[in-house]
Amino acid sequence: MVLGVPQTIDSVLWVMTGASSDQLGTESPSTMEQALSNAVWLERADAWTGDPKARIRSGILRLRLADASGGQIDQDQLQLAIDDLRDGLARSPANSYGWAALAQAELANDDSKQARKTLVTSMLIDDFDPELSLWRCELGLLLWNTLDGDDRRLWNDQVRLAWDNQPDGLVALARQGSGVFSVPIQFALISDPARFQAFEKIFLQSR
């Protein structure tokens, strides 16, 4: 399975490995070589200081690197990403971004059953994060056949949150998969007539 990280998700991953007050480095890596170097240093930082956030960010970087060629997945980088994310999350389990990244990595590793559990964990930890909502919408659609009724109710909340904060992104997502993705999104919004009608208007105009 090709990772195929969508542009919106790729942007989130890249920002998550960029500048922040608790991360090694001052800006998002501009090249794959710099990204690999940063991943190694983040792993060392964790080894030296016991900082699980550094390990999680290294995992996110390696997830990005696994799909750097835009073609076949680098399985070695993917496995390193999974290992780093699981290690970091075992010590910092409240990191909802890390859980979303791990779900993405597990999905790329053809482990849909585990990816579904991981996505649900991310939603349960923090179900009101506008920056994560569109990513979770994408993951939920890719994992749709594995989600049960409770999972889909959680996912519906993410759709409504994405519509309120990133409507253009949600419409673009609905147009993927030859329009198949639009059906679950429409069902998620249909309980709120105002949201549903607003989405339908833009979606139909964009076709």
Spatial separation of the C-alpha atoms in residues 3 and 75, rounded to whole Å: 10
67-71, 72-76, 183-187: which range is least confident on average?
Answer: 67-71
Mean pLDDT of 170-186: 91
Give, in order, the Cα–Cα distances in Å from 72 to each of 4, 61, 78, 183: 9, 17, 11, 30
Burial of 83 per CB tally in 10 Å (0-12, 13-18, 19+): middle
DSSP 20-65: -TTSSSSS--SSHHHHHHHHHHHHHHHHHH--HHHHHHHHHHHHHH
pTM: 0.86
Of the given ranges (15-29, 47-61, 142-156), which has the lowest mean pLDDT?
Answer: 15-29
Mean pLDDT in residue range 106-119: 97
Is the model's pLDDT at 5 over the cut of 60?
no
Q: Check: CB of residue 169 under 8 Å from CB of residue 8.
A: yes
Distance CA(64)–CA(18), nearest Å, equals: 13
95 vs 21, residue with greater confidence: 95
Smallest CA-to-CA distance from 170 within 158, 153, 152, 154 is with 158
Distance (Å, whole) CA 74 – CA 150: 34
Mean pLDDT of 160-186: 93
With 50 as the cut, is the pLDDT of residue 77 above it?
yes
| Amino acid code (one letter) for 76 | D
Tell me the C-alpha distance between 19 and 26, whole Å: 5
206-to-41, 101, 141, 203 alpha-carbon distances in Å: 44, 30, 20, 5
For CA atoms 197, 142, 85, 41, the dihedral sign is negative
Whether 18 contacts 113, CB under 8 Å: no
